[in-house]
């Protein structure tokens, strides 16, 4: 069976390394120009160099987003930036605008181009057009059904890859092209600074015969009319792989390292299990259990199947069942002492879950907590402080410790 790529988000260098350590085949990220997540940490050229070296040394790939819908002034310096990306060795540029694609074809003709979902590719004729002008991969519009994707893959030549989102936040606007943020807050969602007014609470009014306006949602202080649920296709891995698409994409460059690690690990396990033995594949309920631990909204399968309620009218808040409390930096097998870098306050004696890079997750108790200088402490309250704990269960560098909020 042809290998399918698991593509993960990375908002910074730590998340890039986390995604790859937990099983991603490739990572997509934003640099300092033309990317739709201006609020993420994003990558300097030096970060990119380190990230590319880290990924390539492990046989993984790096895709850089240049997916804004640019105005004239946004194009300033794009040629030099593209040359920098190519010289660093990034594996692909993710682009939505035909003007930027034309510049890339001219200045870095050997750089692989992927068409962003922002380009609203919904049919095979459009995909064929993009492929003819140099696009190697088409990221399908999120409005496509699974049947649409099958047909797209069947018509396109093998030289053109198809990538599709399978998990993460959804936008209520058509392929993300929304102007609500521009109109309400003067922040251009198509240039990376969306204020997400679709997540706001609204009241709905109807004009009466006399010209008066009557509130329709009586007894309510507002409704989340445009608030989309999160996409989750973990229960449909066989259908996705059998559709013939080349890459399964996880949304979330603004999400935490804990989110990246949790989601990547689950989808890696499901993909590998199916590839290993398709005939005897069974969905493992623990996968969904692990996907509800990091922050998320209620889940939906989006537009992949028949109609369903894709909006959550009750709340736009994330469900946060677990918090990351630390990342393992090293573990001494003889002394059973682990060095931990703090992420949220944690106490001596707490029971925490280990999100392990390899193997099943497990529960451990944090005992004999100390500062780096050996001073005993009852908690680790300071951001990114290093502390030690005694733990008889062997931990691995990069394992993530999380704690239930219940």
What is the band of 360 on the pLDDT scale with cuts at 50, 70, 90?
Answer: very high
CA pair distance 83, 80, nearest whole angstrom: 5
Mean local confidence (pLDDT), 344-367: 95
Mean local confidence (pLDDT), 118-147: 96
* pLDDT for the residue numbered 174: 77
Using a 10 angstrom Cβ sphere, with 0-12 exposed, 13-18 middle and 19 or more buried, the burial of residue 391 is buried
Mean local confidence (pLDDT), 300-313: 86
Mean local confidence (pLDDT), 304-321: 84
Mean local confidence (pLDDT), 251-272: 96
For 131, phi and psi rounded to 5 degrees? -65, -40
Q: Among 309, 345, 307, 339, which residue's Cα sits nearest to residue 324?
A: 345
Which has more confidence, 234 or 44? 234
What is the band of 2 on the pLDDT scale with cuts at 50, 70, 90?
Answer: confident
The string of pLDDT tens digits covering residues 153-199 is: 999 999 999 999 999 998 888 777 778 888 888 887 777 778 888 88
Q: Is 80 exceeded by the pLDDT of residue 133?
A: yes
Following DSSP, what letter does each residue of 97-149 receive, concatenated? Answer: -HHHHHHHHHH-TTS-EEE-GGG---SHHHHHHHHHTTEEEEE--TT--HHHH
* pLDDT for the residue numbered 219: 67
Lowest mean pLDDT among 199-203, 322-326, 366-370: 199-203
Domains within the chain, CATH numbers bracketed: 5-170+228-300 (3.20.20.70), 174-215 (no CATH), 322-404 (2.40.30.10)
* pLDDT for the residue numbered 315: 85
Per DSSP, 310 falls in state -
> Do the Cβ atoms of 120 and 177 come closer than 8 Å?
yes
Q: Is 70 exceeded by the pLDDT of residue 342?
A: yes
pTM of the full predicted structure? Answer: 0.92
Q: What percent of the chain has pLDDT over 90?
A: 73
* pLDDT for the residue numbered 82: 96
Q: Is 90 exceeded by the pLDDT of residue 101?
A: yes
> Do the Cβ atoms of 266 and 290 come closer than 8 Å?
yes
Q: Is 70 exceeded by the pLDDT of residue 366?
A: yes
* pLDDT for the residue numbered 301: 95
Pairing of strands 247-250, 299-300: unpaired
The mean pLDDT of the chain is 92
Pairing of strands 367-371, 379-380: unpaired
């Amino acid at each position: 069976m042809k290998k399918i790529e698991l593509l993960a988000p990375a908002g910074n260098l730590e998340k890039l390394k986390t995604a790859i350590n937990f099983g991603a085949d490739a990572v997509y990220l934003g640099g300092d120009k033309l990317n739709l997540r201006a609020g993420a940490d994003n990558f300097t050229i030096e970060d990119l160099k380190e990230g590319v070296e880290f990924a390539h040394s492990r046989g993984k790939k790096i895709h850089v987003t240049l997916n804004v819908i640019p105005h004239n002034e946004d194009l300033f310096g794009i040629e030099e930036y593209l040359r920098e990306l190519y010289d660093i060795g990034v594996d692909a540029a993710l682009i939505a605008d035909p003007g930027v694609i034309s510049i890339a074809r001219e200045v870095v003709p050997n750089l692989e181009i992927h068409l962003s979902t922002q380009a609203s590719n919904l049919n095979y004729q459009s995909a064929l057009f993009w492929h003819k002008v140099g696009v190697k991969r088409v990221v399908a519009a999120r409005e496509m059904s699974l049947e649409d994707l099958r047909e797209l893959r069947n018509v396109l030549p093998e030289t053109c890859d198809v990538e599709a989102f399978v998990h993460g936040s959804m936008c209520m606007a058509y392929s993300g092209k929304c102007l609500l943020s521009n109109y309400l807050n003067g922040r251009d969602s198509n240039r990376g600074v969306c204020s997400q007014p679709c997540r706001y609470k609204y009241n709905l009014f109807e004009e009466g015969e006399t010209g008066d306006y009557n509130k329709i949602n009586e007894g309510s202080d507002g409704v989340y009319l445009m608030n989309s649920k999160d996409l989750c296709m973990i229960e449909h891995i066989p259908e996705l792989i059998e559709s013939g698409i080349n890459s399964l994409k996880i949304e979330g460059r603004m999400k935490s390292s804990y989110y990246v690690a949790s989601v990547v690990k689950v989808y890696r396990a499901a993909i590998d299990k199916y590839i290993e033995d398709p005939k005897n594949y069974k969905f493992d309920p623990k996968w969904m259990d692990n996907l509800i631990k990091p922050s998320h909204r209620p889940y939906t399968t989006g537009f992949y199947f028949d109609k369903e309620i894709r909006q959550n009218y009750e709340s736009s808040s994330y469900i946060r069942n677990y918090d990351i409390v630390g990342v393992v930096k090293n573990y001494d097998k003889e002394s059973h002492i682990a060095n931990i870098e703090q992420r949220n306050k944690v106490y001596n004696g707490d029971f925490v879950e280990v999100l392990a890079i390899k193997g099943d997750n497990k529960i451990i108790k944090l005992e004999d907590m100390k500062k780096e200088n050996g001073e005993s402490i009852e908690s680790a309250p300071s951001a990114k402080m290093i502390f030690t704990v005694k733990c008889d269960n062997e931990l691995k560098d990069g394992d993530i410790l999380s704690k239930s909020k219940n």
